[in-house]
Amino acid sequence: MRVEFKGVAVEFVRGDITALEVEAIVNAANNQLLMGGGVAGAIKRKGGKEIEDEAREKGPIEIGESVLTSAGRLPAKYVIHAATMGMDFRTDYDIVRKCVRSVLDLCMREGISEVAFPALGAGVGGLDLVLVTKVMVQEIFKAIRENRAPQRILLVFYTQLDFEKGMLGYSYLEHLINKTMQGPFLTVDAVVFDDLSSPKKVVLVKRKNPPFGWALPGGFVDYGETVEEAVVRELKEETDLDYRDYEQLRVFSDPNRDERFHTVTVAFVGTASGSPKAGSDAGEARWFDLEELPSQIAFDHRQIIETARRRRHG
């Protein structure tokens, strides 16, 4: 399956990445650039130990970084080794995001016009393949929008089951292109305090989709909808709470506030009572003590919460 966007072709392919006749293939490497199991082991077996030897001369590298080597006996011309983990074999979705970014940046620096990715981190790393594919698609979409992507990008899945899961990424990319093409995109976020005069708690939801972490309830404004209608709807959909005594806090518009694309949010502050119940794309919803917020808060939502606290105390 193939999507074309701004002159770049993105293809979702079932097959053996080591057999592809493309300019460059990506190896999901460890940061020591030792080629043992998984995709790395297959590349070494079929392409030759000289690929590992050449890579080792350029390592170790930081997790999230990438280096380029020749491809030995493989049909491809190059192998790009992206360090998705250390020697403990641990990885996460943020590292996958960094690896995709570094690979695409390397392609632009080296003049590589064609690159094939496996599902980074979904093998030895143990990450969910569907979520990995979504993260990769987000970074590819962003690179294409910013004119820093090669002309052809392949996402390669070895088994039929993996390919079927990967096709959810194809649908997601089509959605990004067709529904969120122009940007910047307007969103709303709801700061929900237990008490407006002297707040002690705030409602947060745990995101099920990347970027991960806890976040304020909120989302995109629908066509024909006011921001006030949107924030009430999003809060209800994500927590089943009714927003009360709410007012606009301010607009947050840093172009880098959202890792996926440029969003501008209208933040509100208000109150609600009762126990939040997670819905839509929220994995969990709960009250947090303002003095014991979780360490991983998505986007700029910690800043929004602090701004709301200062406003209420000011």
Would you name the residues annotated as active-site residues? 284
Q: In 3-state terms, what secondary structure has residue 304?
A: helix
Answer for the pair 308, 267: CB distance below 8 angstroms, yes or no.
yes
Strand ranges for the chain from DSSP E: 2-5, 8-14, 24-30, 66-70, 78-85, 114-117, 152-157, 185-193, 201-207, 214-215, 218-220, 244-252, 263-271, 282-289
- CA dist., res. 195 & res. 236, Å (int): 19
Residue 288's φ and ψ, nearest 5 degrees, are -120, 140
- CA dist., res. 25 & res. 77, Å (int): 8
Answer for the pair 25, 47: CB distance below 8 angstroms, yes or no.
no
Residue in 38, 216, 66, 36 with CA at minimum distance from that of residue 127: 38
- CA dist., res. 262 & res. 181, Å (int): 11
- Tokens matching residue 116: 């094939």
The CA-based dihedral angle spanning residues 219, 225, 227, 228, taken in that order and rounded to the nearest 10 degrees? -110
Residue 311's φ and ψ, nearest 5 degrees, are -65, -40
Count CB neighbours of 189 within 10 A.
26
Rounded to 10°, the helix 38-47/49-57 angle is 120
